Amino acid sequence: MSEVNNTRGNLWVNRLKKDFRASLAVVLLLCFAPLVVTTPYSFGILIVSIYFALLALGWNLLAGFTGQFSLAPAAFAMLGAYTTALLDYHLQTPLSIGIPAAIFGTAVLGWLLGRVVLRLTGPYLSLTTLSFAEIARVVVGNSIEFTRGDQGLNVPTLFENRIGYYYLFLMVLVATLVLLYLLMKSRTGRFWLAIRDDATGAESRGIDVVRYKTLAFSLSCAICGLAGSLYGTFSQLVSPELGLLMQTGLVISMVVIGGMGTLTGPIVGAMLVYLASEWMRDFGGIQMIVFSAAVILFARFLRTGLWGLASKMMQGKGKP
Amino acid sequence: MSLLRTEGLQKNFGGVAAVDDCSIAVEAGEILGLIGPNGSGKTTLLNILSGFLAPDAGSVWLADERVTGMSPVQLARRGLLRMFQMSRVFTRISAFDNMLTAGLAMGLAESEAESRAATLFEELTLTHVQYLDAGQLSGGQRKLLEFGMCFIAPPAIALLDEPFAAVHPVMRETMARFIRSRHALGQTFVLVSHDMPIIVDLCQRAVCMNAGRVIAEGATRAVLESAAVIEAYLGSSAHV
Ligand SMILES: Nc1ncnc2c1ncn2[C@@H]1O[C@H](COP(=O)(O)OP(=O)(O)OP(=O)(O)O)[C@@H](O)[C@H]1O
Ligand SMILES: [Mg+2]
């Protein structure tokens, strides 16, 4: 059940502004995490959860804002990571070029994938992106001459200490949020929402669906590619495991639990789900079962996710 | 010269000729009624005119430009806007945002789109629901919203596919009044409807289709009274 809101607060700009402010508040909170988090191990967990927050934001741009249910975010993280790693391995390209190259490369690949699935919707689109993701992973894993296969590749690091990485990931998160906020506030974002709700209707209004869909694909994949590239330099090892479908499953559960079609939801969802999955590591392979069940429950009973619930409660309180 | 005309349009679905050798002309500034029994090809014709279907043969002209086979986006840019028989609104954003999006898509600046949207909601007496998500509007309100979205930037031609169907009489009158006022300003319409009193009231000219073919055209009264049209509506066309 969605709540009924017939006030100016329900206008897209107002919803978006409130959402953006909340997402910045979460980031601000994360800035102070080093005051309480001290062990390198816990820092590692925080950094990886921000990596997932970036993937979640990237996937949400496609699925939550544009209505394109892609199953390839993890594959694009892998491709971004490999772009940087391969440039280093074969050509000794410095990271200052290797990381932008990952953004560019995944943007181009995302654009191509967007063209391929242009006329597809629903399950057909999902299955095609899934095939792409699996093919990419298998090709990377089997091109042993070129990629060293499952052994993976070593990548140079950007910082020796984890604090440096932590704040780098936070900065990238803020930059991504600002970019998404500005886009969603503009014509482009409104056209994405229109395409999500009714692509044929959007076309009839004169919205260039082809152009805006491929743009969303390109940008979403570039965000995932950048996240993957940075993650590679952080862990100093990239392997095809980055592109496992299970990683995409995690990303989807993060967005659905946090709140699809929002900025705050994916970040909060990523934090909660990743921390929970680390915690559940001690109990063996039950994570995916728990998260799948959570996704089903949220999809059934709480479509708007945790952020939807929170903003509903804030709205209730805000009334005179 | 006619503002919009078709020459020998043909569209077959399997063995069915949904549109069969159809030539019509829409004059600038008129409200052209498009009538015909269920399944006679009215929506298919509108789909071709708005670029959602490519014809198997024939051509479409907008003023002196041949626009056959152009995409809906290209045609919308040229001012050919259509309203669907089954409402298509953007359900998860507010009605007001729907209207704004329509304005932005037509190239209006945001501030301009906002003030025009506010005026349209007043004209259509929808102000009391303008901030609701469009998915929370009633069927009739959605129709009215989609109707309004066609006029945020006056189109060259508005193609309306049964705008009055399933709409409350009071709202119908609101729509009819809106059409009359825009017509007075020179707006051109193609109006598909099964509501003959409204067709008689609004349209100077009418075209009647049956089984994909134009069976009568001319002054509205004359079309409605022609033998071919009466026969088509009485359902004796089954043997054709
Ligand atoms: N996409 C399609 N695929 C196959 N047949 C179709 C398709 N669209 C329309 N038709 C057929 O074409 C014919 C004309 O349909 P159309 O929808 O144009 O009629 P209409 O005049 O708009 O009818 P109504 O008054 O009921 O809306 C019908 O026989 C219909 O079954
Ligand atoms: Mg029809």
Instruction: Provide the pLDDT for residue A273.
Output: 93
What does DSSP say about strands B157-161 and B188-192: parallel, antiparallel, or unpaired?
Answer: parallel
Helix axes A162-185, A40-60, angle to 10 degrees: 20
Burial class (CB in 10 A: 0-12, 13-18, 19+), B238: exposed
Please check whether residue A8 lies inside any domain of the structure: yes
pLDDT digits (tens, 9 = 90+) for A9-27: 999 999 999 999 999 999 9
| Domain boundaries defined on chain B | 4-79+155-238
Average pLDDT of the segment spanning A210-230: 97
CB contacts of B100 in chain A (<8 Å) are: 190
Residue B42 alpha carbon to ligand 2 centre in Å? 5
* Token reading at B77: 């840019």
Residue A162: closest CA among A77, A233, A98: A233
Average of per-residue pLDDT across A132-139:
94
**At a CB cut-off of 8 Å and minimum separation 6, what does B95 contact?**
B89, B121, B126, B129, B130, B131, B132, B133, B134, B137, B141, B145
Structure tokens at A276: 């929970």
Mean pLDDT, residues A149-177 taken together? 93
Confidence at residue A320, expressed as pLDDT on a 0 to 100 scale? 41
* B230: closest CA of chain A, how far (Å): 34
pLDDT tens per residue across span B20-79: 999 999 999 999 999 999 999 999 999 999 999 999 999 999 999 999 999 999 999 999
Complex-level ipTM? 0.93
**3-class DSSP state for residue B162?**
coil
Q: Residue window 101-120, chain A: list those with CB within 8 Å of chain B.
A: none
When CB atoms are compared, the residue of B88, B93, B128 closest to A204 is B88
E strand or H helix at A238, and its extent?
strand A237-238
State which ligand 1 atom lies nearest to the alpha carbon of B53.
1
Using CB atoms within 10 Å of the CB of residue A135, give its burial: 0 to 12 exposed, 13 to 18 middle, 19+ buried: exposed
Assign domain B4-79+155-238 to a CATH class.
Answer: alpha beta
Element (H, E) at A267: helix A264-280
Ligand nearest to the CA of residue B35, numbered in listed order? 1
Summarised one tens digit per residue, pLDDT across range A227-271 is 999 999 999 999 999 999 999 999 999 999 999 999 999 999 999
**% of chain B with per-residue pLDDT over 70:** 98
Q: Do A5 and B89 touch (CB under 8 A)?
A: no
Instruction: List the single residue in B72, B101, B136 with the smallest CB-CB distance to A203.
Output: B72
Is the distance from CB of A195 to CB of B90 less than 8 angstroms? Answer: no
Q: Which residues pair with B19 in a beta bridge?
A: B11
Ligand 1, residue B42: give the atom nearest the CA. 21
Would residue A207 count as lying in a domain? yes
- How far is the centre of ligand 1, averaged over its atoms, from the C-alpha of B86 (Å)? 13
Closest CA to B22 of B170, B214, B181, B193: B214
Q: Cβ of B90 and A202 within 8 Å?
A: yes
Give the dihedral sign, CA A197/A198/A203/A204: negative
| Among chain B residues, CA nearest to A65 | B92
More confident residue, B232 or A166: A166
pLDDT higher than 50, residue A1? no
Q: pLDDT in tens for each of the 240 residues of chain B? A: 899 999 999 999 998 999 999 999 999 999 999 999 999 999 999 999 999 999 999 999 999 999 999 999 999 999 999 999 999 999 999 999 999 999 999 999 999 999 999 999 999 999 999 999 999 999 999 999 999 999 999 999 999 999 999 899 999 999 999 999 999 999 999 999 999 999 999 999 999 999 999 999 999 999 999 888 888 887 654 443
pLDDT of residue A286: 81
Question: What local confidence, expressed as pLDDT, does residue A204 receive?
Answer: 96
Q: Across the interface, do A203 and B73 touch by the CB < 8 Å criterion?
A: yes
Is residue A320 one of the residues assigned to a domain?
no
* Chain B positions with Cβ closer than 8 Å to A: 50, 52, 71-73, 76-77, 81-82, 84, 88-94, 96-97, 100-102, 104-106, 110, 128-129, 131-136, 149
Residue A65, both tokens: 């804002």
pLDDT computed for residue A280 by the predictor: 84
Q: Which residues contact B135 (CB under 8 A, 6 or more apart)?
A: A2, B89, B91, B92
Q: How many angstroms separate the CA of residue A306 from the nearest CA in chain B? A: 18
Integer Cα distance of A94 and A75 in angstroms: 23
Cβ–Cβ gap B90/A208 under 8 Å: no
Q: What pLDDT shows up at residue A105?
A: 97
- With the most atoms of ligand 1 within 8 angstroms of its CB, the residue from B11, B12, B42, B240 to mutate is B42
| Counted domains in chain A | 1
**pLDDT for residue B26:** 97
| A11 in Cβ contact with B96 (< 8 Å) | yes
Taking residues A169-195, report their average pLDDT: 98
Q: Are A45 and A30 in contact, with CB atoms under 8 Å apart? A: no
Does the pLDDT of residue A103 top 80, yes or no?
A: yes
Model pTM score: 0.94
**CB-CB: which of B82, B97, B106 is closest to A11?**
B97
> To test ligand 1's pocket by mutation, which of B9, B13, B196 has the most ligand atoms within 8 angstroms of CB?
B13
Q: Which atom of ligand 1 lies nearest, measured to the CA of B47?
A: 18
- Does the pLDDT at position A317 exceed 70? no
Whether ligand 1 lies within 6 angstroms of the CB of B13 is answered as yes
For A39-87, the pLDDT digits (tens) are 888 899 999 999 999 999 999 999 999 999 999 999 999 999 999 999 9
Domain that holds residue A239: 2-245
Confidence of residue A316 (pLDDT cuts 50, 70, 90): low
> Which two tokens mark A4?
């009924």
